[in-house]
Structure 1
């Protein structure tokens, strides 16, 4: 497989993170011990993971005219993500206000900002990229109508669609035949299919729910239990998680998805099988939880291959 552009259409947020001893009660003010401004957003995180894994990666989305917009673009460019097709919208960029307690719990207020304005201009941008595209990666932090339009355009051009239905929400069944690979966790699986993947039988049943409705491959991530893969060709596999001491799990799922897409569809490792891509993505995600931050924690391919070699 030749190296092709991986397109990520999705969100870019500035994560404003404060650490507190405990969360405030209604009407109460508590003091935060520190504040960090960290580029994030599921789309941007996945794009960084793909680029770090060696794929030519192009971001489609929107930032605002506030001070955060340029910072978000600069962070992506620093990680070799092409931001030519990112729009600038009047108003605020996407912002996530995150409080992290000493107990390790968090509370998040997500403000869509420019992400909520992704529409026709950004959808039309896809036309300029389709002829060189290896796949498009989508999530749930931009308007659903835009996601569905991206899916239809990519499917019409025979470009594989990789879809991560997160944050979790209801999924319109009519788009399932447009999706090449759906990647979701246990909670998202239960919400969409009504089946909680607790054992091999329930994993197979959940995968079958998607496959019988037209999706061509299903990956269910299982946290410490690794991941499960099943496709319409009857190929099925389980990949165990890497055992590490986690420091911050913020971008683990996004790292997994971007890394998988890069290896499987971006030509970053030749003609990679699903299992090869899953093994790489699992290692990348494990490395990401060992550092603080979202994009700052995402490893590059050299680090991932070294980790895989050391832990074999």
Structure 2
């Protein structure tokens, strides 16, 4: 079975569903509230495990009930949590507002995630044994960079989701094989807004391959090995909640690539996984299993 390691965040998502998201200074009445296991790292781990990989999760939860629930969710999805630390204090939380179109806005409170500043010997060993390492930016940058460098030294493909959007150290970009930003993140990294193709081409100066996710419009793939970016369309669906869709896409993409599928086939398969996830509420709880994606 394909081995994937995820170094990333675990959060409890506190989700309010509203008709229209509030503007600055405005109060609105919602119609539903849920607490749902999430965090970009945990989301990608669950997505990859459900898509058929053997997945190890490196990160941290707190000593509260949220931490216990996150552990149970990951383990229940088949994720190896031996390297998921428990630290004194609260688990990370994400405060999410979802409107009637399924669009969301999010505030993340790091909590226990902030304690992961470096890797243990066991962490480094699990990364070295993987086919792919999935990284995001909800852990301290020191740990993210260390993970990427361990992967590079051991020939492990590093897939980086640059979220929350922020300038990236040159050392991290140098150790990244595939960068997967959304449109907003690509614009933050390049200063190019409203033109994903130009943004993708600019990012190729820093990494060998880029996939910019475009929501309902699919994604755009660019590589130093080809002359023009390639667009891959997403299946047309009615979105209920887009929370975790990008993480579903990345988790499924990592599995497909680790299995040796050609990039365009892998992107199509990952787009199908994301399209399934947005038709259900929540992040990790909405992610499809391999049989559903294949169908």
Return the TM-score normalized by structure 2: 0.91
1:277 paired residue among 247, 251, 266:
266
Aligned to 1:181: 178
- Distance in 1 (CA, whole Å) between partners of 2:215 and 2:69 is 31
Aligned to 2:59: 61
The correspondence of residues 85-164 of structure 1 with structure 2, limited to 5 A, is 85-100=83-98, 106-120=104-118, 122-164=119-161
Q: Does 1:15 pair with 2:13?
A: yes
Return the TM-score normalized by structure 1: 0.87
- Distance in 2 (CA, whole Å) between partners of 1:241 and 1:105 is 17
The correspondence of residues 71-90 of structure 1 with structure 2, limited to 5 A, is 71-90=69-88
- Distance in 1 (CA, whole Å) between partners of 2:32 and 2:242 is 19
Superposition deviation, residue 244 in structure 1: 0.6
Aligned pair count reads 293
- Distance in 1 (CA, whole Å) between partners of 2:12 and 2:271 is 26
1:292 paired residue among 274, 281, 290:
281
C-alpha contact 2:15 2:36 (8 A) present in aligned 1: yes
- Distance in 2 (CA, whole Å) between partners of 1:180 and 1:103 is 34
Secondary structure, aligned partner of 2:180: strand
- Distance in 2 (CA, whole Å) between partners of 1:192 and 1:94 is 25
When residues 255 and 208 of structure 1 are mapped into structure 2, their CA distance, relative to the original with a 3 A threshold, is same
Secondary structure, aligned partner of 2:152: helix
When residues 243 and 33 of structure 1 are mapped into structure 2, their CA distance, relative to the original with a 3 A threshold, is closer
Aligned to 2:200: 207
C-alpha contact 1:123 1:150 (8 A) present in aligned 2: no
Deviations 1:160-218 (A, max 9, x none): 110000111111233222111000111111111122353xxx61x333323223x1211
C-alpha contact 1:24 1:30 (8 A) present in aligned 2: no
Q: Does 1:170 pair with 2:167?
A: yes
Q: Does 1:246 pair with 2:239?
A: yes
- Aligned CA RMSD, in angstroms, stands at 2.2
C-alpha contact 2:117 2:141 (8 A) present in aligned 1: no
When residues 124 and 197 of structure 1 are mapped into structure 2, their CA distance, relative to the original with a 3 A threshold, is farther
Deviations 1:267-288 (A, max 9, x none): 3xxx211111101000000011
Q: Does 1:228 pair with 2:220?
A: yes
Tell me which structure has the larger Cα radius of gyration.
1
Deviations 1:32-68 (A, max 9, x none): 5443110011111111110111011111000001111
- Distance in 2 (CA, whole Å) between partners of 1:225 and 1:20 is 24
Q: Report the more deviating stretch, 65-74 or 101-110.
A: 101-110
Secondary structure, aligned partner of 1:59: strand
When residues 257 and 107 of structure 1 are mapped into structure 2, their CA distance, relative to the original with a 3 A threshold, is closer
When residues 106 and 240 of structure 1 are mapped into structure 2, their CA distance, relative to the original with a 3 A threshold, is closer
Superposition deviation, residue 115 in structure 1: 0.6
